[in-house]
Structure 1
């Protein structure tokens, strides 16, 4: 699904600076890094299957939780595999306008913010969305508690 389908294309922020990492995006947008909604691409149960997780910028995947939910060890896709599966290069990966229909899950680490900033398919673009808009526009399947390190410094 593209953002044009929601009449939000004009809300995409094209940055003069790179937003390819959480810290770069936060600096370019003038927000705290935790509000950057990073999209991470992982291998699914089947080698040919991929899964996207959208999480807060300060959250880290908890390997134990990932295995409990997906039944496999958390293994990120390579940069080439990510581009092949999503149609977006690393640094601009987002749940919108995907090349292949992939399952997308949102992590609860995002829910503490009224709005977050996911990328929009390039290393210098973003959009400000509510969590409800993010899950709707990104075709999120469900909210998961699959990350660590973001809640009160708990690992």
Structure 2
């Protein structure tokens, strides 16, 4: 018998249902905090890992969510050009206040505050990608095109 999911992972499942999606959260025995750890745990390529990264508009203070392929580093200047303002990285407390989740377990949806969301086109070439599900050990698989549609993500180059 499986142990019950942590409340933050149940929150992710519940929000997915509100989006019209059914996901199955896997609580892994090892850390999935980094893209490399998640890829090892999920037995997939690191490029199939969705990094949910929160940035802040440097002028407006607006939170932005970037869904980035695990193989990529964010080109902040390029993304800022696409978004229309310079970006900065908020501290962990701010990220948690906006999302309701700690860094390392931030899912692509279900946040306490709605955020404009952007997705890396490199994720869209896969049939399945893996994303965090509320804790640094919980993940779920999803079709990236369905994810992008569900969260109304705008596709922009991240790297």
The question of a shared fold, defined as TM-score above 0.5 by the shorter chain, is answered with yes
In 2: Cα distance, 1:121 partner to 1:30 partner = 20
Q: TM-score by structure 2 length?
A: 0.83
Structure 2: state its 5+ residue gaps: 1-13
Give me the whole-angstrom Cα distance separating, in 2, the residues matched to 1:136 and 1:70: 19
Aligned residues: 145
Aligned to 1:71: 84
Checking the alignment, whether the CA contact within 8 Å between 1:104 and 1:141 is kept in structure 2 is: yes
Partner of 2:113: 100
Q: Does 1:19 align with 2:32?
A: yes
- 1:79/1:89 contact within 8 Å kept: yes
User: Following TM superposition, by how much is the alpha carbon of 1:7 offset from its aligned partner in structure 2, in angstroms?
Assistant: 5.0
1:88 correspondence with 2:88 = no
RMSD: 1.7
* 1:103–1:141 Cα contact (<8 Å) kept: yes
Report the CA distance between 1:56 and its aligned residue. Answer: 0.4
- How high is the TM-score relative to the length of structure 1? 0.85
Give me the whole-angstrom Cα distance separating, in 1, the residues matched to 2:17 and 2:95.
23
**Are 1:52 and 2:65 matched, yes or no?**
yes
Contact (CA 8 Å) 2:118, 2:156: kept in 1 or not?
Answer: yes
Alignment partners' CA distance in 1, 2:80 and 2:15: 31
Which secondary structure state, in structure 2, belongs to the residue aligned with residue 39 of structure 1?
A: strand
Report the alpha carbon displacement of residue 128 of structure 1 after superposing the two structures with TM: 0.9
In the TM superposition, residue 13 of structure 1 has moved relative to its aligned partner by 1.4
* Offset, 1:92: 0.6
Matches of 2:72 and 2:54, distance apart in 1: 15
